[in-house]
Amino acid sequence: MGSQGAPAQLAGAARGSEVPASNRMGFGAQPRLKMTENRRLGVLISGRGSNLQAIIDAVAAGRLLATIAVVIANTANASGLARARRAGIETMVLAHTAYPSREAYDEALVAELRRRDVWLVCLAGFMRLLSSTFIEAFPNRILNIHPSLLPAFVGLHGQDQAWRYGVKIAGATVHVVTPELDAGPIVLQAVVPVEDADTAETLAARILVEEHRIYPEAIGIVLDGGWRIDGRRFVRS
Task: Name the residues annotated as catalytic.
Answer: 146
As a whole number of angstroms, the distance between CA 81 and CA 226 comes to 33
- Residue of the chain from 80, 184, 216, 225 that contacts ligand GRF (CB under 6 A): 80
**Which span (31-39, 49-57, 129-137, 161-169) binds ligand GRF, by CB under 6 A?**
49-57
The DSSP bridge pattern shows strands 233-236 and 142-146 to be unpaired
CB of 80 to ligand GRF, least distance (A): 6
* Contact flag: residue 171 with ligand GRF (CB under 6 A): no
The one-character DSSP state at 69 is: E
CB 167 within 8 A of CB 192: no
- The neighbour count for residue 95, using CB atoms within 10 Å, is 11
Q: CA 166, 169, 171, 174 torsion: positive or negative?
A: negative
For ligand GRF, which is the closer residue by CB, 117 or 211? 211
CB contact at 8 A, 39 and 223: yes
Least separation in angstroms between residue 136's CB and ligand GRF is 22
CA-based end-to-end distance of the chain:
34
State the binding string over 123-162 for ligand GRF (x if CB under 6 A, else -). Answer: -xx-------------------xxx---------------
Q: Identify which of residues 45 and 120 has a Cβ nearer to ligand GRF in the complex.
A: 45
Contact between 210 and ligand GRF per CB under 6 A? no
- Of the candidates 155, 221, 157, 156, which has an alpha carbon nearest to the alpha carbon of residue 186? 221
Applying CB under 6 A, does 220 fall inside the site for ligand GRF? no
Site for ligand GRF in 94-123 (CB under 6 A): none
φ/ψ (deg, to 5) at 157? 55, 50
Stretch that binds ligand GRF, among 19-27, 40-48, 94-102, 129-137 (CB under 6 A): 40-48
Binding stretches for ligand GRF (CB under 6 A) = 45, 47-51, 80, 124-125, 145-147, 211
